[in-house]
Amino acid sequence: MEFTAETIAGFLKGEIEGNPDIKVNTISKIEEGQSGALSFLANPKYEHYLYETKSSIVLVNKSFVPSAMVSATLIRVENAYEAFATLLRMVDQSRPRKKGIHATAIIETSAKIGSDVFIGPYAYIGENCIIGDGCSIYPHVYIGDKTIIGNNCILNPGVKIYHECLVGEGCIIHAGTVIGSDGFGFAPQSDSEFMKIPQLGNVVLEDHVEIGANVTIDRATMGSTIIRRGVKLDNLIQIGHNVEVGENSVMAAQTGIAGSTKVGRNCMFGGQVGLSGHIKIANGTKIGAQGGILGDVKEENTVIIGSPAIDLKKFLRSSVIFKKLPEMKVKIDSLEKEIESLKKK
């Protein structure tokens, strides 16, 4: 598919600087741009690529002022990154979608399958399941008994959803993710062994949740583990039993949340963040990579980092001291020797 700068600018409500008739048929990074490609510039540290890129069209912010001549046609928009994402979404949605039910798929007779559904090879759909309209269920997906999948969901290859879980509309679950496996519940016995506690609850994903590859979300002991509307989880994340993650929160890879913790709305977690169990995280909390949270975060919209995590400004001041600790140790040893010498005199 080819699009002119004029067509793209009209779609994005942007302003053209250059040739409105120039055409693009692909997208690329600005540093790898070729003739016929569309790129974007949002981060100032990539600005130098703008003056050497071979991309035909580049999206830039309206406020951007170039410091040299630009050969590409520019389209000025309010937010170049957001505009580029909008175009990517349009391209993705224009791709042909698989349809139909493969002959090797196993669907129990009591399951209800909506219209315009794709079910790939060797997928299994259990008893009394409900699959909504427009869903795509790729090969080797397992959906346990009495699970409900909302309209227009995408379950990528190898996704496993245990029994009685609920998935809302417009959810995307990537390959290898397991939803509804048993929570980590074991009661210590007098003979130093552990008795398994049955996990009788489920997992609820609300609408427009996206979950990365190889994520595990444990079912609740009782009640539900809940991932609220609009949550986005990266790959390799562990969510423990009875956890609740608030609306529109996002988490980077290898985050781990222990059981019964409640995460508020609009939170942002960096990679490898760890939360202990039975704590509450206030709305809008931002936690830097490898942050370790041992207790409640009560104040909304705070930014914390470190393990155990502390306020970002305190952490930055502390990090300056960390670097000086070896020199400080030498000075302290010297002062101790002087004090001992003075005592002897």
CA-to-CA distance for 226 and 197, rounded, in angstroms? 20
Angle at CA of residue 183, ends 178 and 186, nearest 5°:
145
The helix (H) or strand (E) run that includes residue 334 is helix 312-344
For residue 15, list its beta bridge partners.
76
Query: Is residue 259 a contact partner of residue 238, using CB atoms and an 8 Å limit?
Result: no
Query: Strand, helix or coil at 298?
Result: coil
CA-to-CA distance for 40 and 192, rounded, in angstroms? 60
Query: Strand, helix or coil at 108?
Result: coil
- Other residues' Cβ atoms within 10 Å of the Cβ of residue 26: 15
Is 241 an active-site residue?
A: yes
Instruction: Extract the tokens encoding 259.
Output: 């059981």
CA 90 to chain centre: 20
- What phi and psi values does residue 136 have, to the nearest 5 degrees? -120, 115
Q: Is 18 left (phi over 0), alpha (psi -120 to 50) or beta?
A: left
Q: Which of 102, 174, 241, 278 is catalytic?
A: 241
The string of DSSP codes covering 16-53 is EES-TT-EE-EE--GGG--TTEEEEE-SGGGHHHHTT-
The helix (H) or strand (E) run that includes residue 313 is helix 312-344
> Whose structure tokens read 């346990």?
144
Residues assigned a catalytic role: 241
